[in-house]
A and B are shown apart, each in its own frame.
Chain A
Amino acid sequence: MSDVAIGHGQPFVRKEILQPEPPPASLVGFSGWARQNLFVGPANTLLSLFCLALATYVAWIMLDFLVLRAVWTGANREACIGPEVGACWPFITTRFGQMLYGFYPAEEHWRPATVFFVAVALIAPLLTPSAPYKKANALLFFVAFPIFAFVMLSGGFFGLRPVETRAWGGLLVTLVVATTGIVASLPLGVLLALGRRSKLPVVRFFAIAFIEFWRGVPLITVLFFATYMLPLFLPSGWSIDGLLRALVGVSLFSAAYMAEVVRGGLQAIPKGQYEGAMAMGLRYWPMMILIVLPQALKLVIPGIVNTFIGLFKDTTLVAIISIFDFLGIIRSAFADPNWATPGTVYTGFAFAGIVYFIFCYGMSRYSRFVEERLDVGHKH
């Protein structure tokens, strides 16, 4: 054939570029990914198969218990009694209000619900980079919202019935403690970290003393002393609100941890950055705020979020001050004889696990998003 073409006296000239062949099927798509990552060599293949089997087994057990064999409706423990019964969901649904709001009076549940929705409405645009009016939004969330939330939740103003903090509980307390701790600990932590690296000996001494004290004592001891020892030293009739004690304790505590995380970031900034800033005539605060901190904080996002997630889960310790957080209220519900069944405890803990996972994984994903946006990994 080719002889014929050349025979006409015309050399072969390709007019179009040849279409690239698709990569071999063994390298693309899911099967290609699996081949390259899971089934490289016999040892990896064996390990992959083993893990796959294990994952399937666990997933099946959970699906079987939580969905397939689960009981969905019922009025009391009788519904969840039986040889092949799995999760007892009516136990959760009858107490759902209590798990969200604790002992907050039922007819006032709209108040924490409103606060929650307002919080979401303010946080969502704050966390979305493309949303406008960031400054006004931040002002609303960090200044106006806490006042609004306080008035709504504790009442006593505008004809709202006062609800003392002892009645708060459930997810409400978990979120109040965690949010306050998170919002208060970051600025405090930054200040402490700067203080610890300060050249002024008094400032440095106090920052070190503060950080080392709070890192040196367990949170549980702090709460215990604040709750049961403080009343002995205060004059009779004086008392500090229990939840407030916890909020202050948790904030100071996490601030100390945050300070060390931020200090790690500060140490990673090369000296040249400081010197450059000073050479441009910047004084201490402009240098820190404009040059050093933006770089340092960006570096320690994983550490900061780590502290936040730990704090979120530590809120359970408010049980010491006789307040039931989300997990505490579920545990106390186990004691209700009307719902004592073989599966109650497992259902309660499974539900708690799912809720905690949603919150903690949410925080983790958002931090990944921020890291990618700020290009922390210096990939390019």
Chain B
Amino acid sequence: MKQFLTALALGASAVFASGAADAATLDQVKQKGFLQCGVSTGLPGFSNPDAKGEWTGLDVDLCRAVAAAVFDDPTKVRFSPLTAKDRFTALQSGEVDILSRNSTWTLSRDATQGLNFTATNYYDGQGFLVRKSLGVKSAMELNGASVCTQSGTTTELNVADFFRSNNLQYEVVAFQGQEETLKAYESGRCEVFTSDQSQLYALRLKLADKDEHVILPELISKEPLATAVRQGDDQWFDIVKWVHYGMLNAEEAGITSQNVKDMLNSPNPDIKRMLGAEGNFGEQIGLTKDWLVRIVSKVGNYGEAFDRSVGKGSPLQIERGKNALWTKGGLQYGPPIR
């Protein structure tokens, strides 16, 4: 059914070439006066409404950054909470302009869903949660462990691959739902709980005493959570991609929401180019010269967004890990603005 609908949507957008899908998204967004952003229906730290009803999270901040770049106003975003089933159809049909909804970047999605992934907003992967009292520091020490996992998911297969390729003994205890699996882990049915790492941090908050549990540093699968736009609009693709890279470059150069106004006077040529004091780099992608000033002053750089949503400043306390800048041993690398 899902594939049929997708095929239908693709066919329809091909036939109705004059429809929403083809006009320049930037012009449409400017004309509407707001950005329509597809997010999840609620994923802790990535997109969830807070007590005041404001959407917050790392995925949400990317949309706010794009709105800041286009309108100089991060509030000009309307959020469409989408379920996993509806998300790609919503993007194809033009119901949303950006899909910033913890979607794993894979070849088949990139090729067949009529969309382009712009950049990886968060490098996720399957990880392990264990009790601190176990004294385990690395997944390589898990020989002979019993592992709780959700049955019938790729999670289960990844565990099998990881343990077999490392010649470790293990025993799988599989359950239906995530909540049940967590309860089983908490009641001591198994020593290790495995799921996507970002999930582990969120689920850890649901344990009676979260400080008794640690998340091991290893990632045993690749789940790059990326932002996506509709295929066929290269300008919009560039804008969304460079908003993310701009936030990375800002962090790397030490430009924060606090000091961005002072940085405008910086003699550093890199920073001059980024903030539009030199050259017209923002204009080259259809934005303004001060595009990055707008983003960083209103939303912050990538590190600030990360800390606020999922990192040190949030209850989730996720380590930067693979999401640290390339200069600090992570994978987040913003190509140069020049």
Contact = CB atoms under 8 A, between A and B. Distances in A.
A341 B94 contact: no
A66 to B, nearest CB: 19
Interface in A67-110: 76-77, 81-83, 94-95, 97-98, 102-103, 106
A21 interface: no
Contact of A232 (B43, B47, B93, B202): B93
A334 B42 contact: yes
A227 B95 contact: yes
B12 interface: yes
Interface string B60-89: 000000000000000000101111001001
A166 B45 CA distance: 22
Interface in B40-69: 40-45, 47-53
Contacts, number: 122
Nearest to B21: A232
Interface residues of B, number: 46
Contacts of B78: 166
Contact of A83 (B9, B18, B23, B208): B208
B83 A106 contact: no
B172 interface: no
Given A228-B90, A232-B13, A337-B205, A98 B51 contact: yes
Contacts of A341: 205-206
B270 interface: no
Contact of B45 (A95, A228, A229, A337): A337
A224 B51 contact: no
A344 interface: yes
B315 interface: yes
A322 interface: yes
Given A320-B86, A332-B81, A338 B95 contact: no
Q: What range describes how many residues of A lie at the interface?
A: 35 or more
Contacts of A94: 51
Contacts of B23: 236
Interface of B: 5, 8-9, 12-13, 16, 18-21, 23, 40-45, 47-53, 78, 80-83, 86, 89-90, 92-95, 179, 202, 205-209, 314-316
Interface of A: 76-77, 81-83, 94-95, 97-98, 102-103, 106, 166, 224, 227-229, 231-233, 235-236, 319-320, 322, 324, 328-329, 331-338, 340-342, 344-345
20 contacts: A95-B51, A224-B86, A228-B86, A229-B8, A229-B12, A229-B93, A232-B20, A232-B21, A232-B93, A232-B94, A322-B80, A331-B41, A333-B42, A334-B42, A335-B42, A336-B48, A336-B49, A337-B44, A337-B315, A342-B207
